């Protein structure tokens, strides 16, 4: 029997299957922290207790809860105190909301007797969370309402794949629990459990979709994170339609990149093969993606379209699809597949494969360009790609390092991948990787990040890892840091979008050694300053069987050339250079080399020194 409201909260979450809470303590949640301690002691014999992971900052707790949900499909749970702690959760919670994963936020609040009195650390949390946790948000006021609130918050987060929040005033946390509310008016009795619904469009919609897809002779597919779990059916449909397939960034792990008709990612950080396929297709099938950049999809009127998404509000809003099928990717593709006619003309696929081979040669040629102020970051990712361990879990940040990773890392079957997709926030790669290690201790997480994100919060979270690393039989986890001393993504965006020169006062970063910091924590820290040392450094990192920070000094003036450079982008870049960009000499030289590499790629995809 639960003694207090807090005890009941933890036991009820355990009954729902929660086994890990990420958080940071504070006196606004003393009752809940004490309940977790008591819960762990009472479950010590079964080793089945909820684990509390103490992070360095509440934002990181929310990031880790989000990553847990992404990688496991389970509910992610984070815990923070009242006021400032609750405020700190917001960025990670918005990350979960934007990428449609289930996360429950638990926070404290001023005592019920003090709410509304401008008490210390009192914040209007209902207003603070009403957008991010609008699916279900409640401040608990009576012990008899706690059971209903927990059950509804958990079920709502899981069922709607979104964020919910429960706010516990500090005095309520320590009141006697009411496990069975009275069978009276104004009380609710609720239960644990959720059997997910199958979601399939109606027969008319499926037949219409099949008619459109069967009529196409050049079918392109675009898959996103919503297609995870339906990988085999995506392949079957693509084979039936003889389609090529591009991937939105969050959907990078849906299909292995060694399939010859998979063209990789799409957009500014995508491949030329994906871009060319979208330009040439006559039919587009979108599965589980809300890819926002319509300019990289076929022009209106140039292709017919079919879209599959569980959320009807995301259908037909990026491309004017003729058939909009509301349903889960797996259920809908399974129902659609028998209606599709096997295509026998392989010419479209052959052209895609040929384009993909050319794009790979261009990327390899660009990777072989020598950096001037550091290593060419493309070379860095070519070498990393060759040494990715089987079943690794790759997390990426927001920045140029992720652009290169999207283009150069070739994911294989049973690998996992994620990043902050919809929100695209900095600082997520490191907490994502640590959360992945907790969820899958036998696998090797690899965080892809830059010095900007590491200085922002990543270095602090290495301290969290140091606290827990001894619990794993295989403590392998690798942090790959591109140190270019610059907030490089924004620097290049200023140049090619706004025609603004590099502004050192806002863009340049302190040159801090992340490898040295790793060694302070007892981890392996590897610094790489020469391209010829990359291979040995990655081999050492993956053989270490311990946490490793591999810090690579990269050239900030290697431009991330899109698949097709527009006249507007070239004009903006020229204006930025004419305005006195302090790096104009190197930026111009390296960009010209990249353009020439695109025009005259090497004959094979192997790297050649230049």
* pLDDT score for 421: 96
146 vs 106: CA distance, rounded Å: 12
- Tell me the percentage of the chain whose pLDDT exceeds 70: 99
* Residue 241's pLDDT band (cuts 50, 70, 90): very high
- The separation between CA 183 and the C-alpha centre of its own chain, rounded to angstroms, equals 45
Q: What's the pLDDT tens digit per position in 541-576? A: 999 999 999 999 999 999 877 778 889 999 999 999
271 within domain boundaries: yes
* Residue 604's pLDDT band (cuts 50, 70, 90): low
Round the average pLDDT of the chain to a whole number and report it. 95
Q: Cβ distance 524 to 466 under 8 Å?
A: no
Query: In this structure, what token pair is assigned to residue 473?
Result: 């039989």
Q: Cβ distance 594 to 558 under 8 Å?
A: yes
429 vs 409: CA distance, rounded Å: 16
276 within domain boundaries: yes
181 within domain boundaries: no
Task: Clarify whether residues 481 and 563 are in a common domain.
Answer: yes
Report DSSP state, residue 508. Answer: B
37 within domain boundaries: yes
* Residue 608's pLDDT band (cuts 50, 70, 90): very low
Task: Clarify whether residues 411 and 275 are in a common domain.
Answer: no
* pLDDT score for 47: 86
CATH at residue 281? 3.40.50.1220
Task: Clarify whether residues 347 and 386 are in a common domain.
Answer: no
Average pLDDT over residues 110-125: 94
Q: Which of 450, 443, 477 is nearest to 462 (CA)?
A: 477
Q: Which of 560, 530, 565, 523 is nearest to 544 (CA)?
A: 523
Report the number of distinct structural domains present in the chain.
Answer: 3
Sheet holding 103-109, edge to edge: 51-54, 20-23, 76-80, 103-109, 163-169, 137-139
Domain final residue pick, 151, 173, 195:
173
Average pLDDT over residues 22-26: 98
Q: What's the pLDDT tens digit per position in 70-102? A: 999 999 999 999 999 999 999 999 999 999 999
Q: What's the pLDDT tens digit per position in 199-237? A: 999 999 999 999 999 999 999 999 999 999 999 999 999
Task: Clarify whether residues 153 and 268 are in a common domain.
Answer: no
541 within domain boundaries: yes
267 vs 163: CA distance, rounded Å: 28
- Neighbour tally for 198: CB within 10 Å: 11
Domain final residue pick, 298, 322, 354:
354
Q: How many residues does the chain have?
A: 610
- Tell me the percentage of the chain whose pLDDT exceeds 90: 92
Q: Say whether pLDDT at 338 is over 60.
A: yes
Q: What's the pLDDT tens digit per position in 521-535? A: 999 999 999 999 999
* Residue 2's pLDDT band (cuts 50, 70, 90): confident
Rg (CA), the chain: 25
Report DSSP state, residue 127. Answer: H
Q: Which residues pair with 193 in a beta bridge?
A: none
Q: Cβ distance 79 to 165 under 8 Å?
A: no
Query: In this structure, what token pair is assigned to residue 604?
Result: 């094979």
Residue 51's SS3 state is: strand
Task: Clarify whether residues 76 and 147 are in a common domain.
Answer: yes
| Structural domain harbouring 557 | 368-599
Task: Clarify whether residues 593 and 474 are in a common domain.
Answer: yes
Task: Clarify whether residues 100 and 209 are in a common domain.
Answer: no
260 vs 449: CA distance, rounded Å: 28
Average pLDDT over residues 536-541: 98
Task: Please provide residue 451's backbone torsions phi and psi, each rounded to the nearest 5 degrees.
Answer: -65, -30
Please report the sign of the dihedral spanned by the C-alpha atoms of residue 167, residue 171, residue 174, residue 176. Answer: negative
SS (H, E, C) 359-424: HHHHHHHHHCCCCCCCECHHHHHHHHHCCCCCCCEEEECCCHHHHHHHHHCCCCCCCEEEECCCCC
Task: Clarify whether residues 425 and 496 are in a common domain.
Answer: yes
Task: Clarify whether residues 344 and 382 are in a common domain.
Answer: no
Q: What's the pLDDT tens digit per position in 349-373? A: 999 999 999 988 988 999 999 999 9
Angle between helix axes 347-367 and 584-599 (nearest 10 degrees) is: 150
Domain final residue pick, 354, 382, 414:
354
* pLDDT score for 370: 93
Task: Please provide residue 152's backbone torsions phi and psi, each rounded to the nearest 5 degrees.
Answer: -70, -40
Cβ-Cβ contacts under 8 Å for 484 (sequence gap 6 or more): 374, 377, 400, 450, 451, 553, 554, 555, 556
404 vs 450: CA distance, rounded Å: 11
Q: Cβ distance 370 to 531 under 8 Å?
A: yes
448 within domain boundaries: yes
Q: What's the pLDDT tens digit per position in 420-448? A: 999 999 999 999 999 999 999 999 999 99
CATH at residue 437? 3.40.50.970
Task: Clarify whether residues 230 and 283 are in a common domain.
Answer: yes
Task: Clarify whether residues 137 and 214 are in a common domain.
Answer: no
* pLDDT score for 141: 97
User: In angstroms, what CA-CA distances link 103 with 30, 106, 367?
Assistant: 22, 10, 39
Q: Cβ distance 89 to 80 under 8 Å?
A: yes
Q: Say whether pLDDT at 610 is over 60.
A: no
* Residue 605's pLDDT band (cuts 50, 70, 90): low
* pLDDT score for 288: 98
Q: Cβ distance 364 to 601 under 8 Å?
A: yes
- Neighbour tally for 602: CB within 10 Å: 15
Residue 502's SS3 state is: coil
Task: Clarify whether residues 339 and 375 are in a common domain.
Answer: no
412 within domain boundaries: yes
Q: Say whether pLDDT at 606 is over 70.
A: no
362 within domain boundaries: no
């Amino acid at each position: 029997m639960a003694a207090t409201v807090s005890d009941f909260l933890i036991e009820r979450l355990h009954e729902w299957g929660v086994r890990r809470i990420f958080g940071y303590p504070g006196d606004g949640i003393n009752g809940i922290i004490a309940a977790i301690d008591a819960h762990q002691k009472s479950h010590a014999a079964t080793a089945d207790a909820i684990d509390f992971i103490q992070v360095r900052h509440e934002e990181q707790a929310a990031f880790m809860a989000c990553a847990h949900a992404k990688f496991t499909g389970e509910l992610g749970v984070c815990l923070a105190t009242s006021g400032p702690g609750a405020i700190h959760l917001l960025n990670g919670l918005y990350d979960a909301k934007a990428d449609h994963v289930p996360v429950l936020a638990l926070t404290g609040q001023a005592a019920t007797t003090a709410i509304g009195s401008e008490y210390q650390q009192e914040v209007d949390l209902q207003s603070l969370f009403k957008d991010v946790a609008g699916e279900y948000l409640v401040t608990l006021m009576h012990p008899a309402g706690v059971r209903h609130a927990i059950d509804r918050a958990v079920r709502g987060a899981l069922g709607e794949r979104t964020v919910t929040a429960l706010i516990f005033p500090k005095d309520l946390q320590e009141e006697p629990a009411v496990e069975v509310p009275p069978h009276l008016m104004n009380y609710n009795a609720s239960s644990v459990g959720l059997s997910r619904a199958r979601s399939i469009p109606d027969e008319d919609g499926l037949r219409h979709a099949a008619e459109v897809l069967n009529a196409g002779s050049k079918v392109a597919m675009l898959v996103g994170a919503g297609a995870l779990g339906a990988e085999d059916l995506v392949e079957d449909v693509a084979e039936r339609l003889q389609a090529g397939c591009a991937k939105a960034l969050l959907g990078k792990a849906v299909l292995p990149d060694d399939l010859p008709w998979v063209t990789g990612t799409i957009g500014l950080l995508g491949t030329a093969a994906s871009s060319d396929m979208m330009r040439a297709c006559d039919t587009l099938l979108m599965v589980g993606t809300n890819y926002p950049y319509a300019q990289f999809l076929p022009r209106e009127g140039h292709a017919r379209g079919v879209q599959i998404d569980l959320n009807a509000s995301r259908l037909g809003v990026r491309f004017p699809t003729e058939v909009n099928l509301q349903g889960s990717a797996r259920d809908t593709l399974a129902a659609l597949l028998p209606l599709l006619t096997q295509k026998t003309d392989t010419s479209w696929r052959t052209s895609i494969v040929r384009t993909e081979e050319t794009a790979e040669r261009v990327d390899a040629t660009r990777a072989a360009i020598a950096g001037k102020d550091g290593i060419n970051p493309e070379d860095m990712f070519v070498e990393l790609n060759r040494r990715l361990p089987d079943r690794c879990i790759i997390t990426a940040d927001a920045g140029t390092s992720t652009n290169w990773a999207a283009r150069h890392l070739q994911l294989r079957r049973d690998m996992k991948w994620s990043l902050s997709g919809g929100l695209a926030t900095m600082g997520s790669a490191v907490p994502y990787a640590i959360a992945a290690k907790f969820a899958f201790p036998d696998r090797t997480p690899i965080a892809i990040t830059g010095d900007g994100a590491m200085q922002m919060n990543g270095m602090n979270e290495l301290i969290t890892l140091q606290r827990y690393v001894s619990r794993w039989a295989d403590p392998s986890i690798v942090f790959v840091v591109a140190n270019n001393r610059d907030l490089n993504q924004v620097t290049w965006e200023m140049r090619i979008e706004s025609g603004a020169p590099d502004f050192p006062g806002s863009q340049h970063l302190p040159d801090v050694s992340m490898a040295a910091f790793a060694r302070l924590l007892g981890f392996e820290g590897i610094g790489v300053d020469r391209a010829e040392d990359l291979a040995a450094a990655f081999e050492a990192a993956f053989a270490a069987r311990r946490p490793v920070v591999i810090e690579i000094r990269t050239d900030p003036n290697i431009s991330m050339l899109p698949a097709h450079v527009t006249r507007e982008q070239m004009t903006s870049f020229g204006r930025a250079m004419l305005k006195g960009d302090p790096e104009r000499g190197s930026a111009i030289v390296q960009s010209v080399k990249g353009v020439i590499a695109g025009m005259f790629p090497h004959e094979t995809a192997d790297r050649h020194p230049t």
